[in-house]
């Protein structure tokens, strides 16, 4: 028995319908685009900042003294431990005193003899004054007695000077610290001959450097010097010679500029070979952390205060030699803005040019954003935002 025509077409219709349905499903799957990525945005922070210039320099002692003897003799005693802190007036070395004590005793004896001679000459002159009035002695004899008294007075003065010199020499056998500071190691051991005096071949016994306060010396270029001078003359408190400019410092193993000091000196000439000029700052050093010769990095105010825009340093991108940030416009489209960078302050980067205060800067999700791409921005600090715990300062 043959089937009706529509019965033979039914399977074909079912297959065709399934084909059309599957094709429509495939088109729907292709047309369903992924949702725009979520990024965190924030407006730039506004702060009053000062540009800081950084320099590398060394610490130098305010006072540095070489201990040398003023008299020659054999070193008798050393009264300090190598490297210890000493105060002004502390006894450091003793030269054998015996020869100088003998010289002082001899000078005192000569002075006593000269004074005795002067007393005799004075009495003899007093007697001669009466005798010459009585015409008992001649005027010539009286003049001789007058001259003898003058010679006796001169002899007393000379012996007094010799006694004072001998007394000084005896005092010079004790070498005391002229300043407060740290003394180095002894250069001569007891028993050695020490050459003293004011000549160039005297014996160096030790050195003392003061530590508190301490100076920090550095150099800066001529362009910076001109900028500082012009700002100072305009009334800005910059690296002045009057010690009013505040500076900060850190050591080579420290991340922060935790030490505060003041500028106290700028040299009067620019070095012709290097084109730089020497500056100096003073720091308190009560704990003796700073040592002469130690390196450090110094921050000097390089501009007047101004209001600046700041963004997280991590939001800055690099394109060859140019820096940029990604912002989201009113249509939630990512835009690239090239910016001019300033210094870093509390992990925020100063933006000198290229950014507006109303811009929404992408601070989280930078890897998911591309220029021209649609995104789903979330304000930083809003509930559920990825960077809600890191609010810009």
Query: pLDDT (tens digit, 9 = 90+) per residue, 172-197?
Result: 999 999 999 999 999 999 999 999 98
Q: Beta strand pairing status for 45-49 and 181-183?
A: unpaired
Tokens of 148: 């003898």
Q: Which residues pair with 310 in a beta bridge?
A: 45, 350
| Greater model confidence, 349 or 241 | 349
Please say if the pLDDT value at position 233 is more than 70: yes
Tokens of 258: 């935790």
pLDDT at 26: 52
Cα–Cα distance measured from residue 94 to residue 168, given in angstroms and rounded to the nearest whole number: 14
Query: Which of 266, 301, 336 is where one domain is finished?
Result: 301
Cα–Cα distance measured from residue 210 to residue 181, given in angstroms and rounded to the nearest whole number: 4
Cα–Cα distance measured from residue 227 to residue 128, given in angstroms and rounded to the nearest whole number: 85
Listed range (85-99, 161-175, 276-290, 314-328) with the worst mean pLDDT: 314-328
**Residue 128: inside a domain:** yes
**Residue 85: inside a domain:** no
- 320 and 284 assigned to the same domain: no
pLDDT at 313: 84
Please say if the pLDDT value at position 388 is more than 50: no
> What's the distance, CA 51 to chain centroid?
18
**Residue 188: inside a domain:** no
Please say if the pLDDT value at position 393 is more than 70: no
**Residue 273: inside a domain:** yes
CB atoms within 10 A of CB 310: 23
Cα–Cα distance measured from residue 251 to residue 247, given in angstroms and rounded to the nearest whole number: 14
How many structural domains are present in the chain?
A: 3
Q: In the block, which residue shows the tokens 């190691």?
A: 185
Strand order in 181-183's β-sheet?
A: 64-68, 204-209, 181-183, 85-86
- State pLDDT tens for residues 268-297: 899 999 999 999 999 999 988 999 999 999
- 142 and 156 assigned to the same domain: yes
Segment holding 247, helix H or strand E: strand 246-250
Cα–Cα distance measured from residue 90 to residue 319, given in angstroms and rounded to the nearest whole number: 65
pLDDT at 314: 84
Expressed as residue numbers, the domain containing 296 is 52-62+211-301
**Residue 199: inside a domain:** no
- 317 and 278 assigned to the same domain: no
**Which is nearest to 332 in space by CA: 363, 364, 360?**
360
Segment holding 90, helix H or strand E: none
- State pLDDT tens for residues 249-266: 999 988 888 899 998 888
| Greater model confidence, 144 or 104 | 104
Cβ–Cβ under 8 Å, residues 280 and 34: no
Whole-angstrom Cα Rg for the chain:
45
| Greater model confidence, 166 or 382 | 166
pTM beyond 0.75: the answer is: no
Mean pLDDT (whole number) for 93-101: 95
**Which is nearest to 219 in space by CA: 244, 239, 204?**
239
Cβ–Cβ under 8 Å, residues 158 and 114: yes
Please say if the pLDDT value at position 7 is more than 90: no
- Say which CATH number the domain at 373 has: 2.40.420.20
Percent of the chain topping pLDDT 90: 41
Cα–Cα distance measured from residue 152 to residue 71, given in angstroms and rounded to the nearest whole number: 30
């Amino acid at each position: 028995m043959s089937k009706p025509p529509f019965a033979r077409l039914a399977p074909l219709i079912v297959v065709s319908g399934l084909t059309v349905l599957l094709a429509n499903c495939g088109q729907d799957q292709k047309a369903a685009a992924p949702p725009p990525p979520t990024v965190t945005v924030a407006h730039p922070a506004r702060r009053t900042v000062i540009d800081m210039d950084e320099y590398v320099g060394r610490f130098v002692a305010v006072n540095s003294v070489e201990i040398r003897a003023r008299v020659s003799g054999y070193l008798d005693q050393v009264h300090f431990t190598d490297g210890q802190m000493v105060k002004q007036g502390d006894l450091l070395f003793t030269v054998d005193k015996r020869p100088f004590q003998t010289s002082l005793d001899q000078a005192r004896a000569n002075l006593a003899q000269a004074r005795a001679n002067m007393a005799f000459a004075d009495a003899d002159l007093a007697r001669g004054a009466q005798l010459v009035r009585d015409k008992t002695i001649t005027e010539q004899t009286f003049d001789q007695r007058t001259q003898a008294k003058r010679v006796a007075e001169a002899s007393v003065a000379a012996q007094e000077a010799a006694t004072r010199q001998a007394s000084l020499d005896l005092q010079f056998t004790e070498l005391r610290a002229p300043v407060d500071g740290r003394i180095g190691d002894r250069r001569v051991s007891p028993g050695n001959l020490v050459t003293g005096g004011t000549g160039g071949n005297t014996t160096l016994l030790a050195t003392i450097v003061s530590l508190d306060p301490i100076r920090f010396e550095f150099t800066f270029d001529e362009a910076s010097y001109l900028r500082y001078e012009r700002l100072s003359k305009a009334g800005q408190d910059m690296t002045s010679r009057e010690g009013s400019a505040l500076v900060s410092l850190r050591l080579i193993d420290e991340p922060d500029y935790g030490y505060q000091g003041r500028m106290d000196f700028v040299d009067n000439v620019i070095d012709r070979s290097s084109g730089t000029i020497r500056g100096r700052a003073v720091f308190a050093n009560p704990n003796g952390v700073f040592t002469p010769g130690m390196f450090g990095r110094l921050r000097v105010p390089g501009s007047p205060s101004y209001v600046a825009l700041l963004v997280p340093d991590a939001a800055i991108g690099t394109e060859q030699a140019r820096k940029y940030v990604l912002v989201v416009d009113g249509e939630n489209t990512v835009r690239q803005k090239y910016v001019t960078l300033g210094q870093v302050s509390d992990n925020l980067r100063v933006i000198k040019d290229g950014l507006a205060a109303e811009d929404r800067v992408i601070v989280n999700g930078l890897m998911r954003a591309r220029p021209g791409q649609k995104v789903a921005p979330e304000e930083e600090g809003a509930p559920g935002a990825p960077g809600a715990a890191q609010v810009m300062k």
